Amino acid sequence: MEPSEAPLDPAQCVVLHGCAEELLPRVPSESVRLTLTDPPYNVSRPNNFQTMGRTGIDFDWDGDFDQLSWLEEAARALVPGGSIVIWNDRKNLGDLARALASLGFSVKAKLTWSKRNPMPRNRGRSFVPREEHGLWAVKVKPRRK
Ligand SMILES: C[S@@+](CC[C@H](N)C(=O)[O-])C[C@H]1O[C@@H](n2cnc3c(N)ncnc32)[C@H](O)[C@@H]1O
């Protein structure tokens, strides 16, 4: 599939709403040009952030999320030369980068989104990072012979 500059036709756009692991197998192979995702980060844990007037980070969908198992299906769906951007906790980026490389991706860049509303930490006892972290990788095209 070649990149197109043609405007998107809303009549041809489809929104699939549901569990990614169940829906991804329905996406045709080499049909996606950009996968942009912000999956669970495995950062949930009991906390007392409410004492700071903030809601906590303790979600039932976060703790056991498997960071790597969905990548193979996502790779299959992507066109050669297509991009994947994965936002995640900084601690998971190394595992994600290695998994992407083993699936035939070239990991291009570590992305940083600086923001003003960081995830709360216990002030006075920890640094408070004001960034979100992501990886940008491109599915390598097979070499022409
Ligand atoms: C880090 S949050 C991303 C939030 C998103 N960026 C937003 O602004 O709403 C992860 C999201 O993934 C969703 N999620 C968790 N497991 C999922 C799954 N198996 N398939 C699809 N979405 C899932 C959660 O409900 C949550 O909204």
Q: What is the total count of domains within the chain?
A: 1
User: What local confidence, expressed as pLDDT, does residue 86 receive?
Assistant: 98
Domain extent, residue 54, equals 10-139
Q: In this predicted model, what pLDDT tens digit does every residue of 73-129 receive, in sequence order?
A: 999 999 999 999 999 999 999 999 999 999 999 999 999 999 988 776 666 777 878
Asked whether residue 113 is assigned to any structural domain, the reply reads yes
User: What local confidence, expressed as pLDDT, does residue 30 receive?
Assistant: 96
Asked whether residue 129 is assigned to any structural domain, the reply reads yes
Asked whether residue 2 is assigned to any structural domain, the reply reads no
**Which CATH number fits the domain that encloses residue 85?**
3.40.50.150
- Answer whether residue 6 shows pLDDT above 90: no
Asked whether residue 144 is assigned to any structural domain, the reply reads no
Return d(Cα 139, Cα 74) in angstroms, integer.
10
Asked whether residue 110 is assigned to any structural domain, the reply reads yes
Q: What atom in ligand 1 is closest to the CA of residue 41?
A: 1
Return d(Cα 46, Cα 59) in angstroms, integer.
10
Helix%, strand%, coil% for the chain, nearest 5? 25, 25, 50
3-state secondary structure 83-97: EEEEEECHHHHHHHH
Asked whether residue 5 is assigned to any structural domain, the reply reads no
Asked whether residue 116 is assigned to any structural domain, the reply reads yes
User: What local confidence, expressed as pLDDT, does residue 144 receive?
Assistant: 83
Return d(Cα 17, Cα 108) in angstroms, integer.
29
Ligand 1 centre to CA of 70 (Å) is: 13
Ligand 1 centre to CA of 82 (Å) is: 22
- Residue identifier of the C-alpha nearest atom 6 of ligand 1: 38
Q: In this predicted model, what pLDDT tens digit does every residue of 63-77 receive, in sequence order?
A: 889 999 999 999 999
Q: What atom in ligand 1 is closest to the CA of residue 87?
A: 1
Asked whether residue 103 is assigned to any structural domain, the reply reads yes
Local structure of residue 35 (DSSP, 8 states): E
Ligand 1 centre to CA of 143 (Å) is: 35
Return d(Cα 92, Cα 105) in angstroms, integer.
17
